[in-house]
Amino acid sequence: MNETKPPEFKTQFAEDVFKGLTSYPKKISSKFFYDEKGDELFQKIMELPEYYLTGKEYDILVQHREEIGDAFSSFNGFDLIELGAGDGKKTKVLLRHFQEKSYDYKYLPVDISKNVLEQLSGSLLQEFPGLDVEPQQGTYANVLTRLADYRDRKKVILFLGSNIGNLTPEEAVAFLKKISSAMHEKDLFFMGVDQKKEPQVILDAYNDSAGVTEAFNKNLLTRMNRELEADFDPETFMHWPLYNPETGVAKSYLVSTKEQTVQVNALNLEVHFHKWETIHTEVSQKYDDTSIAWLAEEAGLEMAGSWADKDNCYKNYLFKRTGL
């Protein structure tokens, strides 16, 4: 492997790929799944029968929108800040309810993808013509730092889709501490969390019969080919998900099916793969009430409410900041 470091990295993607492919074991963060093609594939994943997470959370929001709306509302209005807004399908359940109740609020969708924000803004304009929308492009950390100064009225921070599961427990605590530090006395944090359950159900969600999740994972290789002048052959890698019911961790890998060497020309990098060597691309941690309570306590948050689907397969938790 050529480990001559390029003089500079033009993008965060370039830097992370260089570090990930020169480490052992190899890894690339799942946040880089979401280029334009990745966004499109993830929309398809959310519609798959095996991918229960979206439907379960959608049902919770439909069934409990009244109680959730009552918890969010404030006499002088509120700012609704959503981290990782995506297509807004689930959030629109709440937005529609808020419009019907004539709540005074501003919606601030946050996403790293400019493409996603443009699509969401367009659909909101059509479906909610009078809605006050202020899109925020950037990483969660950067946007949260800016939004910590929003003190004039109540902030409600949304984090749907069990995205907290893409972090290790240690990373989750660090992330939730950033959330907590951006909150003031009346602010709230509303988070969706996939629960531990029958292992095969979880495994099937990351290995659908139509192969869409496989295409989503392999799109990372295509993205490196396009943006970093690499020569990966996706056909020589297999998608491989695992789930450990003891720890509640689901992981996805790309596994090289042969010994091969890949050139990543934009990084002046040559990467050798042994047969069956992996690139770790995703982690999805599953939780229960006990582990969520531990996360919250470590981060300076306390639970203010929770709502579950009828099978206790998925939950949405409401938190406030402690010590204020």
pLDDT in tens, 76-89: 899 999 998 888 88
* Mean pLDDT across the chain: 93
Q: b/e for 230-258, b at 16 or more Cβ within 10 A? A: bebebebbbbbbebeeeebbbbbbbebee
What are the CA-CA distances from residue 30 to residues 16, 50, 163, 247, 271 (Å)?
Answer: 11, 20, 11, 20, 20
Q: Please give the structure tokens belonging to residue 20.
A: 């990930």
Q: Is 4's pLDDT higher than 70?
A: no
Tell me the mean pLDDT in the region 140-155: 82
pLDDT band for position 21 (cuts 50, 70, 90): very high
- Tell me: the pLDDT tens digits for 176-204? 999 999 999 899 999 999 999 999 999 99
Q: Is 164's pLDDT higher than 90?
A: yes
Q: Is 323's pLDDT higher than 90?
A: no
Residue 138 pLDDT = 84
Give the rounded percent of residues in the chain with a pLDDT score beyond 90.
80
- Tell me: the pLDDT tens digits for 261-315? 999 999 999 999 999 999 999 999 999 999 999 999 999 999 999 999 999 999 9
What are the CA-CA distances from residue 270 to residues 2, 32, 45, 86 (Å)?
Answer: 5, 21, 33, 35
* Gap between the Cα atoms of 279 and 17, Å rounded: 11
* Gap between the Cα atoms of 6 and 180, Å rounded: 37
Residue 266 pLDDT = 95
Residue 120 pLDDT = 93
User: Rounded to 5 degrees, what angle do the CA atoms 55, 39, 241 make?
Assistant: 70
Please name which of 149, 67, 62, 53 lies closest in space to residue 108, comparing C-alpha atoms. 149
Helices (H), the chain: 12-21, 36-46, 52-72, 91-100, 114-127, 140-147, 169-181, 199-205, 212-228, 289-299
Residue 53 pLDDT = 93
Tell me the mean pLDDT in the region 221-248: 97
Q: Partners of 282 in the beta sheet?
A: 252
CB 95 within 8 A of CB 125: no
